[in-house]
Structure 1
């Protein structure tokens, strides 16, 4: 996949070398020779990945990374810090300031492209979800922000058929995570993988094909978003590339450096939790966008969409569709005599009785104010009238209790019913018929059901 990569290094030959390598793989490259300039270009160009050298005069890589991660405008951009081969303390310091990954000099091409591709894929998904989240904020259905995730205490599944290697992996990871071993990869099928946040798979297993297992995991709906870290032998660069093609998120070579293993697991877990949180937020915002906040019923927007779809099916020869509009009688008196809090209590209780008096396939919505609509698919006029009458009786028969003193209040409702069984009947006409029937019920004394068939 193509992506924009910001390369930051004060040594010009290093910049040009990385630029040439990345452009050969069709990445768009932005270059910078200082920390201050890198921050400015990150804000201006919104790159997909930043390759940041640690040793620079003035603002070094650590301080540059810290500032990028503290700025809400750039904290979502993955940062890969480029360190010297033997400087393990740099990795620890880089994690402390928010680095997402590391590359060691001299940079191996396979590792370089693996890191860039993995992080660019992550940012593409995160950007899409962030855009939807931003839309939810503009609509007022999302509030607050997500906390920064540490990537610790995750359940990790280790698939390694060498008992000695598996035990060492488990001991290393137990410092920060909750690893568990699975030496028999065939046992993976019946497991509830939703409780696992990362899989570590040996690509050189003798009793199973690690890449085939990774492809299987990636192809299953329940594990499609589960991150996978592959462990490869140092001479298996072709296999490492193949692992990326089948869906592995990252790989690490043997002999495994404990600090690098911990850093990569933290990175993958942080990414997964961040994406999961964004998805949850977006899903919640979508639910809020079609839900009435006072009653928990669907709102008018959702009702219109569903009713139009049902009417379109009915116009093509499908089953009839019925709707009813129910209105609380003399609701203004409730607000005037008892206050708006009492009125809200009446509306909530009315909505609860409404929802409990219909079939699972029916759709109850708050139309606005004290008016409610119920869509009844595959329902003829007789059945619709019976359902409407059942609702009217449930409202009339039991008193409503309002206020802290739980005062009893008698409430009734009027209901208008309309049935669509004609290709000529559209959404507006059907609701108008139901509204006219409701008006007749109100005018003729309230607390009754009136029907208009198409």
Structure 2
């Protein structure tokens, strides 16, 4: 499943309709008909996202939202408020209370699913960063001092300069200390504009031609100096296709195009501020992790995580799997006949091989996967939220990536030669619903499967089978 979603609505028909739509998109759903039931299910199952009706029989949706946000265990779960009454005042109140968005029934399925995809992507990135930060703290490395927060610099790019100037007038009342500048669309990708290092962009979806704003957003996402910026797309009411496409292309959020409407400028400023706060939080976490982990928990040769970090991270991954009931997998990977490389060409050649293998492995794995060098030519890989079949396919892919092309050896000893390297892999899948083995046992299983790969002729993947080992 793509994620676990709790549907909270007092009308059973509404819950069933949403369940059908979400199940068709491969989401796992749960249902609640009241606020109390919703809070109980959240505490018991920790869903990835909540669809919460404003009107419930025992309490309002805003009261449920307030209780969720007040509890550290549930505060980070994204909540989409839903209602049958399109009231701008209620919409703004929901956003101010911490709702990720406020949607009106009947839903546009395309926009709903695009919004869900975007929120779940963001949640996954948040969870991964926080998981790594907790691992870092557990290993005894304190968080660095808070940095002085500079003013945010925001670029406004409208379909006309007059439109961007009107945005600036309305937003200036609500954006506090931020510096807001109007930027011409033809200048946005120029060296001068990119050198400004804008923290956020607000871009009209249609810059002269339909979709030009979305194309500009894609270009900004491809530039290193603007890739991590907040990008909000300004849309007219009812632009469903552009809204869904903007979210899927990576828009941080959507804001009203007509900011002179009641509460529109407040809503836009709130969405921009919230996206900027998330960006700053991610930057602090990334900088803290980058500086500390690089020094304390990485292998200096390959740049991969070392054993110390890997064991702590793997333990957290296993705990998370137990809490969510989702499968994961552990791999033990060993280079075949690696000693011969060192004996024949020297340790510099062996180091070059290890560096290249690390790069090939990293290129085949997701950002959320764990990759570590835990010994001379030994590597550990862990795949969260991965079923056994997908884990085996990933292991086969790693095996092929290592052996598919020879590795060039350094001069002068190797005299321009290259060597073909293969790897043996032992895979140990784990389904926490039926298997509560500790991390050490999982690594032992992967090692036993690795021995099977070696005995079977090397350059292959062997999977640990619990029934065969019994």
Check whether TM > 0.5: yes
Instruction: Please tell me whether the aligned partners of residues 8 and 33 of structure 1 are also in contact (alpha carbons under 8 angstroms).
Output: yes
Secondary structure in 1 matching 2:225: helix
Match of 1:244 in 2: 247
Cα distance in 2 between the residues matched to 1:301 and 1:78: 33
Cα distance in 2 between the residues matched to 1:181 and 1:91: 28
Distance 1:137 1:185, change over 3 A: same
State how 1:37-116 maps to structure 2 within 5 Å. Answer: 37-116=37-116
Match of 1:130 in 2: 130
Cα distance in 2 between the residues matched to 1:272 and 1:75: 18
Cα distance in 1 between the residues matched to 2:21 and 2:107: 11
Cα distance in 2 between the residues matched to 1:249 and 1:313: 50
Secondary structure in 1 matching 2:203: strand
Q: Does 1:230 align with 2:237?
A: no
Match of 1:198 in 2: 200
State how 1:159-308 maps to structure 2 within 5 Å. Answer: 159-177=157-175, 178=178, 179-190=180-191, 191-192=193-194, 195-206=197-208, 209-234=212-237, 236-252=239-255, 254-256=257-259, 257-287=264-294, 289=296
Instruction: Please tell me whether the aligned partners of residues 142 and 281 of structure 1 are also in contact (alpha carbons under 8 angstroms).
Output: no
State how 1:327-406 maps to structure 2 within 5 Å. Answer: none
For residues 65-124 of structure 1, the C-alpha deviation after alignment (integer angstroms, 9 at most, x for no partner) is 112112111111111222454423323432443223222333332332232122111001
Q: Does 1:316 align with 2:316?
A: no
RMSD of the alignment, in Å? 3.8
Higher deviation after alignment, 241-250 or 34-43: 241-250
Q: Which runs of 5+ in 1 are unaligned?
A: 292-298, 303-311, 322-421, 424-454
Secondary structure in 1 matching 2:107: coil
Bigger Cα Rg: 1
Give the CA deviation at 1:254.
4.4
Secondary structure in 2 matching 1:221: coil
Q: Does 1:155 align with 2:163?
A: no
Question: TM-score of the superposition, structure 1-length normalised?
Answer: 0.58
Give the CA deviation at 1:287.
4.5
Cα distance in 1 between the residues matched to 2:85 and 2:113: 18
Instruction: Please tell me whether the aligned partners of residues 83 and 103 of structure 1 are also in contact (alpha carbons under 8 angstroms).
Output: yes
Instruction: Please tell me whether the aligned partners of residues 12 and 33 of structure 1 are also in contact (alpha carbons under 8 angstroms).
Output: yes
Instruction: Please tell me whether the aligned partners of residues 6 and 47 of structure 2 are also in contact (alpha carbons under 8 angstroms).
Output: yes
Instruction: Please tell me whether the aligned partners of residues 6 and 30 of structure 1 are also in contact (alpha carbons under 8 angstroms).
Output: yes
- The aligned length equals 307
Distance 1:176 1:14, change over 3 A: same
Distance 1:3 1:222, change over 3 A: farther
Secondary structure in 2 matching 1:240: helix
Match of 2:29 in 1: 29
